[in-house]
Amino acid sequence: MATRNHHVCYVVPPYLLSAIADSSHNEDHVRESARNALTSHKSYVGKREKRFAALTAPRGSKGAAAARKSIVPDHMLQHIADCEDVDDETRACAKRDLEHIKKVHAKYQEAQGISGDTSAQKTLTATDDSSDATEKTYRAVYDSNHDSNEAHLPGKVIRVEGQKASSDEAANEAYDNAGLVLSFYKDIFNWNSIDNKNMNVISSVHFGVNYENAFWDPEAAQMVYGDGNTFLTNFTGCIDVIGHELTHAVTEHTSPLDYTGQSGALNEHVSDVFGIMIKQRVENETADKADWLIGEYCLMPGVKGVALRSMKAPGTAYDDPRFGKDPQPDNFKDYKVTTDDNGGVHMYSGIPNKAFYNAAVAFGGYSWEKAGKVWWETMRSGQVPAKCTFAQFADVTVDKAEELFGDDAATIVRKAWTDVGVVRKSH
């Protein structure tokens, strides 16, 4: 496992890394790798907090983040436009969007009194007046060639939008599964890409040497995948993991939740909710038939466990002397204030996860038909504060259930939360 410096969300939670590092059942090199990952996790926590604080700061205040627009790298568009084995429609779209970029570059230069060489300008940030900006979401997958230095990301291009499958299976999985995530958001919630403005989706595979993790890096605005090693692998093949990570980016554009304490646990919970719905859609499973396991295909054979997390039964995902026992509680009565894991953001996400499971099963049918829509409208409501508590989030879901589906639905959602110990007002 490589050391990390940026504020990213890891698929593998720190409490699991800690258990691996502390277990005498693991070889020394495995324990050392886990310790390195934990050290890097601590270094990015403060930066991640700053990012979400900036995202939720009042408009115009000091430190407030500028509104993120759709960022399209022109070098990627040029590659697509020139690539012979890209389909005609995608190549035509890339040429159109590249011409748009050149026009906006020219306007920018004219306004700034700049002329001549434009090579230094590598990307375009689409502005509000660019009504003819790209209407297509572009995917691109790169090979980081086992380099663990993020400054070198994304790496060498392997496959771009519209291009045929490559000989690199991990690249094909990253490409195809990103497409499944995007189609879920588009088809179910009419949400275009990550930011609802067709932001391109970039992924890098083969990060580091035997790197047993995957993550969304908000600074690089891309997915990064390791190849795995002793215990964990197949990150590009786990659609729920990819859905989870890309949803962190979606959360930034809906209701940014401070990545600490209960709001941070809700941040993780939302990613699990949409990750599991995407998996269930791909596998065509109704709520009552699904296994509700996150990362079940990441565990290597021989590990005593079924997944990284269970939304149906938090605390039961694994029990292995090399991993320890899954520590997630399933009820708010077991919630304790902690400084570990940025306030227990991965640990306590199991509580709202179980609430969503309860609601989805009680509604029946597919999880995204009712429960998913309630959670989506909650995130889009503008009523979720940055430092949201479980009780506050529960109240908004109850209100949205009533607005969407009536009193009976509100009662179902309230009971789902009450059954995990999150009790507020009666409905």
Q: Name which of 99, 50, 106 is nearest 78 in CA terms.
A: 99
Catalytic one of 173, 346, 377, 402: 346
Among candidate residues 208, 344, 174, 336, the one with its CA nearest the CA of residue 267: 344
Q: CA-to-CA distance for 126 and 71, rounded, in angstroms?
A: 7
By the 10 Å C-beta count (0-12 exposed, 13-18 middle, 19+ buried), 415 is classed as: middle
The token pair at 4 is 């990390």
Among residues 150, 173, 245, 252, the one annotated as catalytic is: 245
146 catalytic? Reply is: no
How far is Cα 80 from Cα 96, in angstroms, rounded to an integer? 11
| DSSP three-state, residue 140 | strand
**Catalytic: 206?**
no
**Cα–Cα distance, 36 to 38 (Å, whole number):** 5
Tokens at residue 354, please?
Answer: 């179980």
Longest Cα–Cα distance in the chain: 67
| Residue 252 phi, psi (nearest 5) | -60, -25
**Residue positions counted in the chain:** 427
Are 413 and 356 contacting, i.e. CB atoms less than 8 angstroms apart? no
Torsion angle (degrees, nearest 10) of CA 37, 42, 43, 45: 120
Cross-strand bridge partners of residue 123: 73
Alpha helices, H only, 70-141: 74-82, 88-112
Which residues form the catalytic set? 245, 346
